[in-house]
Chain A
Amino acid sequence: MDVLWEAITDALGLLIGGDGETYEIIARSLRVSLTATLVAFLLGLPLGMLLALGRFRGRRLALAAVNTGMGMPPVVIGLLITVMLWRSGPFGALELLYTPTAMVIAQAVIAFPLVAGISAAALQQVDPDFRVQMEALGATRGRALWAVAVEARLPLLAAVMAGFGAVVSEVGAAMMVGGNIAGQTRVLTTAAVLETSRGDFAAAIAFGLILLLIAFSVILILTLAQQRGRR
């Protein structure tokens, strides 16, 4: 139990005490995960639209594949991306291994099926005639699709939140493609693992608590945006 108390005081100390390294780790965690979620959304929403509203052979198969992707272990994704980013790998020339960019890529890949799958479900909730009605009022196909997305904005924001939650708390892939290098690719989750391996459990939990706080803040902002208009 005292470990927990120690952790809480540690966490507060790190946050308020102005520990530069901690701030840097927090900033990096946010930057990497928010960017990855954004990328996953920019790619996932159009795919979700295609899967939900498109008409092509094998649509349902594709949808099932994307939904299965949600259950893919992040560690496996991290491993696959590591292999591709190795110097001897197909993308070695990009020298992306052990950089935050690589972490963004890994996290984006992890979040992508989540965002796409939930978006597809969200868009299918909208009455199929809705799109037709928008076109019947003069909307181009693109604008009609956008109107459908706006109509489904509540569950779409939920998709974003799910994606963010999944990646900001992920450690296996972040460790593998990032290397947990101090000052370069260390984020809250990998820092927590490091402290655990050093036996400093209080510090590890402290990082965990900070992560919770950060994640909550982001999700709170998103939730407020989602619930705008409803009291």
Chain B
Amino acid sequence: MTPPLLELEHVVVRAGGRAILDVPALGLEAGTTTGVLGPNGAGKSTLLRVAAALLEPTSGRLLLDGRAASRVRLRAVTSAVLQRPLLRRGSVRSNVETGMRFHRVPRDVMHERSAAWMRRLGIAGLADRPATSLSGGEAQRVSLARALAVEPRLLLLDEPFAALDAPTRGELLADLREVLADTGTAALMVTHDRDEAAALCDRLAVLHDGELRQHGPAAAVLDHPADPECARTLGFDTVLPSRLAERWLGEGSGEVALRAVDCQVVEDGDERFAHPAVLRRIVPLGPVARVVVEVDGHALQASAPVPVPAWLQERGVGRPVRIHLRMEGARRLGGSPATGETESALGSAAHGRRQS
């Protein structure tokens, strides 16, 4: 079995007296794109810089192809695209060639590659333009071309689309996915956007407070949060504390997370399925309205359709409502983070209970 392209073993980065990154184990396979999700300050950029050999971990080591890797060896096979394009004064072409120059690629090869990559990323027409005259999207394309022209085995991306507007982001995403698929380059991408992660990544890692909380195949991670914080990051905005979950869903439920859409506000209904709550706030959010309710002092995120039904509008703050949980969308929290195993959907268990 071939070892992963890059492995992090017990990597800890300390700064200011505390651990800002703590990754017991993380492996990146050749040809795969791994996403790193997490809120601001979670340590995502730190993880990226460690993988790029731009930052020396306080303890732990990195293995390249199964062997301990020095900074020099790692740098030779990686290149990075940081959040801001950070281009140099000069033409677009000279910028695309920057990395190759550092890697001492022979001149003719360099010119060939830069031409090819500029074409690939749709910026061939800008080759002689000064880098300072580019738009945000164009600049980021140059930054991508520059990093890819080095032909790294591992491409590192730090929220590369964060500063772009939605349509540009979409285009660039699609182009990047194609390029990665065509070249078979492995990638590690930091993002705080779930949709981006879903679109680009084969595997996902979730970081919180520097800790690696869970990682595994993207689809699995996206659907099975490991703990309440991961739940929020992964879009499961409604977290039922154990007491509540046990009261509503039966013993042994533990903490349960749902997406707000799976937690509907209803006028009334059977007590067993429509749980009592107190209305706090209604916030229209486009196609769905976010409804904040309160149960036993806990604030919960529920939802209601848009346009908001008349009964709800008239109900008034502080008045009782009921919430209906869609069990297929419920997830019990607490799979093992490191191995990527997650508990199966709670839905089936509860479903069974209901039927009994």
The answer to the question of B243 belonging to the interface, with a C-beta cut-off of 8 Å to chain A, is no
- Chain B positions within 8 Å of A127 at CB level: 84, 86
Number of A-B contacts (CB under 8 A): 49
Closest to A144 in B: B102
- Chain B positions within 8 Å of A3 at CB level: none
The answer to the question of A133 belonging to the interface, with a C-beta cut-off of 8 Å to chain B, is yes
A132 lies within 8 A of B146 (CB): no
- Chain A positions within 8 Å of B89 at CB level: 150-151, 229
Min CB distance B179 to A, Å, is 17
Docked complex Cα distance between A42 and B61 (Å): 39
The answer to the question of B315 belonging to the interface, with a C-beta cut-off of 8 Å to chain A, is no
B88 lies within 8 A of A136 (CB): no
Closest to B80 in A: A136
- Chain B positions within 8 Å of A143 at CB level: 102
The verdict on A136 contacting B54 (CB below 8 Å), with A130-B86, A147-B88, A151-B88 known, is yes
A136 lies within 8 A of B103 (CB): no
B86 lies within 8 A of A133 (CB): yes
Min CB distance A207 to B, Å, is 40
The verdict on A129 contacting B79 (CB below 8 Å), with A136-B52, A136-B54 known, is no
Docked complex Cα distance between A129 and B49 (Å): 12
The answer to the question of B82 belonging to the interface, with a C-beta cut-off of 8 Å to chain A, is yes
1/0 contact string of B68-86 vs chain A (CB within 8 Å): 0000000110111011101
The answer to the question of A219 belonging to the interface, with a C-beta cut-off of 8 Å to chain B, is no
The answer to the question of B98 belonging to the interface, with a C-beta cut-off of 8 Å to chain A, is yes
1/0 contact string of A32-65 vs chain B (CB within 8 Å): 0000000000000000000000000000000000
1/0 contact string of A139-177 vs chain B (CB within 8 Å): 110010001001100000000000000000000000000
Docked complex Cα distance between A136 and B146 (Å): 11
Docked complex Cα distance between A143 and B52 (Å): 17
B102 lies within 8 A of A134 (CB): yes
Min CB distance B114 to A, Å, is 13
The answer to the question of B150 belonging to the interface, with a C-beta cut-off of 8 Å to chain A, is yes
Closest to B75 in A: A138
Docked complex Cα distance between A140 and B80 (Å): 14
The answer to the question of A195 belonging to the interface, with a C-beta cut-off of 8 Å to chain B, is no
Docked complex Cα distance between A135 and B56 (Å): 13
Closest to B52 in A: A136
The answer to the question of A137 belonging to the interface, with a C-beta cut-off of 8 Å to chain B, is yes
B79 lies within 8 A of A137 (CB): yes
Docked complex Cα distance between A132 and B83 (Å): 11
The answer to the question of B147 belonging to the interface, with a C-beta cut-off of 8 Å to chain A, is yes
Docked complex Cα distance between A138 and B149 (Å): 12
B99 lies within 8 A of A138 (CB): yes
Min CB distance A146 to B, Å, is 11
Question: Which residue of B49, B79, B82, B84 contacts A138 across the interface (Cβ within 8 Å)?
Answer: B79
1/0 contact string of B137-173 vs chain A (CB within 8 Å): 0000000001100100000100000000000000000
Docked complex Cα distance between A127 and B84 (Å): 10
Min CB distance A208 to B, Å, is 38
1/0 contact string of B34-46 vs chain A (CB within 8 Å): 0000000000000
- Chain A positions within 8 Å of B78 at CB level: 136
Docked complex Cα distance between A133 and B150 (Å): 13
A139 lies within 8 A of B102 (CB): yes
The verdict on A137 contacting B98 (CB below 8 Å), with A132-B49, A132-B54 known, is yes
Docked complex Cα distance between A136 and B157 (Å): 11
B156 lies within 8 A of A136 (CB): yes
Which one of A132, A137, A150, A229 has the greatest number of beta carbons of chain B within 10 Å? A137
B146 lies within 8 A of A137 (CB): yes
The verdict on A137 contacting B147 (CB below 8 Å), with A129-B82, A132-B49 known, is yes
Question: Which residue of B54, B83, B103 contacts A135 across the interface (Cβ within 8 Å)?
Answer: B54
Min CB distance B143 to A, Å, is 8
Closest to A130 in B: B86
The verdict on A129 contacting B86 (CB below 8 Å), with A135-B75, A138-B150 known, is yes
- Chain B positions within 8 Å of A129 at CB level: 82-84, 86
- A136-B52, A136-B156, A137-B80 are known contacts; what are 14 more A-B pairs with Cβ within 8 Å? A127-B84, A130-B86, A132-B82, A133-B80, A135-B54, A136-B82, A137-B79, A137-B146, A138-B79, A143-B102, A147-B88, A150-B88, A151-B89, A229-B89
Q: What would 27 A/B residue contacts be, using CB atoms closer than 8 Å? A: A127-B84, A129-B84, A129-B86, A132-B49, A133-B80, A133-B86, A134-B98, A134-B102, A135-B54, A135-B75, A136-B52, A136-B78, A136-B82, A136-B147, A137-B80, A137-B102, A137-B146, A138-B75, A138-B79, A138-B99, A138-B103, A138-B150, A140-B102, A143-B102, A150-B88, A151-B89, A229-B89
